[in-house]
Amino acid sequence: MRDLKQILLEEIPEFKAKGEVFLKGELGKMDFKKVSGGFGVYAHRDGKHFMIRLRILSGVLGKEQLVAICNLAERYAVPMIHLTTRQAIQFHKLSLDNVCKVMEEGLEYNLYTRGAGGNYPRNVAMSPLAGLMKEEAFDVVPYAMAANGYFLQRINTYHLPRKLKVSFTSDKADGSQATVQDMGFVATLKDNKPYFKLYLGGGLGRNPRKGIPVDRLLPAEEALYALEAMVQLFTHEGDYEHHHKARVRYIADRMGDEAFVNCFWKYFETAKVKGGLDFSPEMPKYTKVGKRVEINHIAITSQKQEGLYSYYFHPLGGQLDYRLLRKISNLIEPMKDVHVRLSMGEGLYLVHLNGEEVQQVAEALDADNYLLGVEQTRSCIGVPICQMGILESQKALRAIVDYFKAKGNIKESLPPIYISGCPNSCGVHQIAGIGLVGNKKKIDGVLTGIYDVYMKGKCTVGETHLGELIGEVQEDQLPAFLYDLASKIEAAHQSFDQYMEANKEEVEQLLSK
């Protein structure tokens, strides 16, 4: 990676020059975005400040990197750190100079931003507890990391129609959302040997699509050939003329599922003939001696390694300042083998904790952890930061939580709520039990913020389905609607799914008030 780092360092002055032209008003927002996205940088809505996205490889964050992130955030006065819905970390409200400094200094700690946005392969997602779960086919960590390396080694050379999202999942819960990605690898065993079941051509946002389940299993050691096949398919078959139809799923729509899968295997066989991507994984060795404790705690999961545990920490809306992150860093620093795994839900796991350590962590962090009822709500960054945003999704999240708390009940009868401030689905609303999408429409002649309401989405291997649009609710009425719905479910003594099955029309009427 040393040569790559030098190349990336040499790119920064040219990027900065483009940014200066943008700040002078001589380059439009969209034209600047075409350049900045590939560096993991986006201008804020005010046109003066910037966001930079740190590409945390499959969400795995070592102690040294965690300290570096805390130091960067403090040094450059980052007011808010955002844990994203794709295992990345975003710094907001930075000057152009400080964006470039973060970009440069981050490379010293293998914190990459190149390709974290724009028309590039994005961070390879992974089940956050891969290798640690009691019920998983096999450990996908080395495969996901090899995929990251494959993309990063070429990251400055890609010319794709749009972004490319790849995920590796090791269990049926689909912790990396592999079944709704451009390319998903789901671990499975055949004759006690590791294989991947592939899901191709999925994606959320406008015109969403579940991934096509591929019958032919892929030997796990051929994973990099499959990646090369998808890159070549996307490069040669993708639409470079129409931005809104340039994702992989539109190729599948155009060709049809069977022809699309056959086309993929054609590119795969070509890659195999070319060779050079054979992969023999070195499986991680987990040697830490555990210590068992009897504990029943919502944030704590027992690992398959005897006497070791993981603690899940979820800041409200995925947002925290560097002081809280520093507290976490200082807490785990003396703990052997403990590191961070970012989730797809705007939170993080502290893994490889023994029984005494996990109790210590819980005591230190529980007060800042939001895991009950509507506190679990996820949200994109939204207005007033995002250029594409329509509504203030983070404000809506806090309004919901505050409303429920004011009523004295956070209500655990609702499934997790995912909020996107616009139809782009950065909040992955289409796979939520309750998904909300920001929009605006005229009501009585006044342009009014509304949320389109989707329900009964799900992302689980073999059971994934996209949420159904059932109505809309005005922005200022959203908390009351959700509280009324939760109260009705509790009164019926039913689960959310049971209630929706029996009372869908009643919910639609509740939305039409």
Q: How much is the mean pLDDT over the chain?
A: 96
Residue 230 pLDDT > 90, yes or no?
Answer: yes
The tens digit of pLDDT for each residue in 143-155 reads 999 999 999 999 9
Say what the pLDDT of residue 70 is.
98
Cβ–Cβ under 8 Å, residues 328 and 66: yes
**297, HSE (Cβ side, Cα atoms, 13 Å):** 22
Say what the pLDDT of residue 443 is.
94
Please give the Cα distance from 188 to 194 (Å, whole number). Answer: 6
Please give the Cα distance from 400 to 434 (Å, whole number). Answer: 13
Say what the pLDDT of residue 2 is.
59
At residue 160, what is the residue type? Answer: L
Please give the Cα distance from 74 to 268 (Å, whole number). Answer: 46
CB under 8 Å to 296, separation ≥6 — which residues?
none
- Percentage of the chain beyond pLDDT 70 is 99
Residue 1 pLDDT > 60, yes or no?
Answer: no
User: What does the DSSP 8-state code read for residue 368?
Assistant: G
Helix (H, G, I), strand (E, B), or coil: what is residue 119?
coil
DSSP class per residue in 447-509:
EEEEEEEEE--B--TTT-BPPEEEEEEEGGGHHHHHHHHHHHHHHHT--HHHHHHHHHHHHHH
**β partners of residue 418:** 378, 435
Say what the pLDDT of residue 466 is.
97
Burial state string for 332-350 with b = 16 or more CB within 10 A and e = fewer than 16: beebeebbbbbbbbbbbbb
Threshold 0.85, pTM exceeds: yes
Average pLDDT over residues 426-430: 97
Cβ–Cβ under 8 Å, residues 309 and 301: yes
Say what the pLDDT of residue 238 is.
98
Please give the Cα distance from 386 to 383 (Å, whole number). Answer: 5
Average pLDDT over residues 266-278: 97
DSSP class per residue in 349-364:
EEEEEEHHHHHHHHHH
Please give the Cα distance from 214 to 183 (Å, whole number). Answer: 11
Cα→Cα distances 124→344, 367, 403, Å:
11, 32, 37
Residue 453 pLDDT > 90, yes or no?
Answer: yes
CB under 8 Å to 183, separation ≥6 — which residues?
164, 165, 166, 167, 198, 199, 200, 211, 226, 227, 230, 248
Lowest mean pLDDT among 192-201, 245-254, 401-410: 401-410
Say what the pLDDT of residue 287 is.
93
Closest CA to 143 of 305, 284, 275, 340: 284
Pick from 330-344, 409-423, 487-501 the range whose average pLDDT is largest: 330-344
User: What does the DSSP 8-state code read for residue 380?
Assistant: -
Say what the pLDDT of residue 405 is.
93
Domain 373-511: assigned CATH number: 3.30.413.10
Positive/negative CA dihedral, 66, 71, 72, 76: positive
Say what the pLDDT of residue 408 is.
87
End-to-end CA distance of the chain: 58
Average pLDDT over residues 212-220: 98
Cβ–Cβ under 8 Å, residues 304 and 133: yes
Return the structure tokens found at 405. Answer: 């708390």
Domain 2-109: assigned CATH number: 3.90.480.20
**511: pLDDT confidence band, cut at 50, 70 and 90?**
confident
Average pLDDT over residues 186-201: 98
Average pLDDT over residues 310-315: 98
Please give the Cα distance from 427 to 438 (Å, whole number). Answer: 11
CB under 8 Å to 168, separation ≥6 — which residues?
58, 124, 125, 126, 127, 130, 140, 143, 144, 147, 176, 178, 184, 185, 187
Domain ranges of the chain: 2-109, 125-274, 300-368, 373-511
**76: pLDDT confidence band, cut at 50, 70 and 90?**
very high
**186: pLDDT confidence band, cut at 50, 70 and 90?**
very high
- Domain over 300-368 is classified CATH 3.40.1350: no
Answer yes or no: same fold for 2-109 and 373-511. no
Cβ–Cβ under 8 Å, residues 19 and 26: no
How many other C-beta atoms are found inside a 10 Å radius of the C-beta of residue 359?
Answer: 17
Average pLDDT over residues 448-459: 97
Burial state string for 384-395 with b = 16 or more CB within 10 A and e = fewer than 16: ebbeebbbbbbb
Say what the pLDDT of residue 513 is.
65
Cα→Cα distances 125→85, 147, 180, 198, 418, Å:
10, 10, 12, 14, 19
Average pLDDT over residues 126-136: 97
**β partners of residue 189:** 194
Residue 218 pLDDT > 90, yes or no?
Answer: yes
Domain 125-274 class, CATH top level: alpha beta
The angle at the Cα of 6, spanning 41 to 1, to the nearest 5 degrees, equals: 90
**412: pLDDT confidence band, cut at 50, 70 and 90?**
confident
Q: Which residue has the tokens 């729509």?
A: 253
CB under 8 Å to 98, separation ≥6 — which residues?
76
